[in-house]
Structure 1
């Protein structure tokens, strides 16, 4: 697996992107899995799903830079967390790439997506009218930034009761290939604001966010 992208947001927060080039056996050889993890792997269809799960764990181990066993669990909402390290984590994958974001002190969220024209057909399902009105001439890329941003916010929040369309708001911004913009997560209890960052890489879009606190 080759490291193709790495970025530090601050002294305790960073993310990395890897290109998946190994077989499942080669990835397995780099991990310290226990019985419950092998049992879960057996439920996955061989191929990309298997490779995605393994590659995010190998990348996580690489970023943590440890030889210790990493107990990566998933809560009832599907949010991954570590039981034996203090770090917050977020995992993502798309086709030939895996992404991991970690922070010692902040909740984080990351999403990576292969850019495809089909996103225009579903834009109305995750963007409201006000948000769609600021999409500029680079429509496909601009829409993917918005999708990745909302996915990253969703992962940071980590609860199932959040709707991309109804709860996550994106402030108007111009697409420039890389940059940042303001977003908000609006629930019945409170409104939280975030700065989401994005980068385009090798035909993929990356959106990532760290908690302001």
Structure 2
């Protein structure tokens, strides 16, 4: 299985990225599935959606390094969780890649996206005028993806509905690099929080952002 990136984010958290090169059959062969999961697979038909579903589960199994059955489900907010393992998890996928982040200690969030110029047409939907005025975001495709991945990672870290990208997550000015970090002010129901988000661009044109920290 081609894990192309594997990093210990902190003492308790690990991030891994896997390039999807296997067939559906090859992915299925590495998984233990129960009927409710087979029903999901049937509903996805074939293609990228199914490959993404299978690959995130197989990557999760590899990271947990277990032969036991892994019961990965989603709560009422759509946040993935493990029924029989004591880990916080976050899943993401885009085209040829799957990304998984796990932590023993605190909530995590990860987002991976293939960089496309069409993001410029929706930038006003997820960024405020103040954010768009930042030169490293504004009309810069890579900067826009850094902002999107950061906000998506924060949303997944929070794990509850109602957090609006434009209204509740505010990206502070940062220096755009191939790999770097930024701070964001997040308006949560229990108060305002400042979070640090790490990001990096891959050699083949993907952007990834991730966040880890106590909720």
Cα separation, 2, equivalents of 1:47 and 1:177: 31
Distance 1:3 1:165 in 2: 33
Gaps of 5+ in 1: none
Give how far 1:136 is off: 2.6
| Alpha-carbon separation, structure 2, partners of 1:204 and 1:154 | 19
1:80 pairs with 2:77: no
| CA 46–174 in structure 1, closer or farther in 2 if over 3 Å, else same | same
Q: Which residue of 2 aligns with 1:209?
A: 211
Q: What is the CA distance between 1:9 and its match in structure 2?
A: 1.0
Structure 2, unmatched stretches of 5+, are: none
What residue is the counterpart of 2:190 in the other structure?
Answer: 189
Provide the C-alpha distance between the structure 1 equivalents of 2:6 and 2:189, rounded to a whole number of angstroms.
36
What is the aligned residue count?
213
TM-score, normalised via structure 2 length: 0.96
**RMSD, matched Cα:** 1.3
User: 3-state SS of the aligned residue for 1:182?
Assistant: strand
Superposed counterparts of 1:100-179, under 5 Å: 100-136=100-136, 139-179=140-180
CA shift at 1:127, angstroms? 0.5
- CA separation in 1, counterparts of 2:118 and 2:103? 33
Aligned to 2:66: 66
**Structure 1-normalised TM-score?**
0.97
Alpha-carbon distance in 2 for matches of 1:189, 1:206: 28
Report the CA distance between 1:188 and its aligned residue.
4.5
4+ residue segments displaced more than 2 Å = 135-138
Q: Give the equivalent residue in structure 2 for 1:51.
A: 51
Give CA-to-partner distance per residue, 1:146-203, whole Å, 9 cap, x none.
Answer: 0000000000111111110001111111201111111122034311221000010120
2:15 alignment partner in structure 1: 15
Q: CA deviation at 1:212?
A: 4.2
Note if contact 2:136-2:174 (Cα within 8 Å) is conserved in structure 1.
no
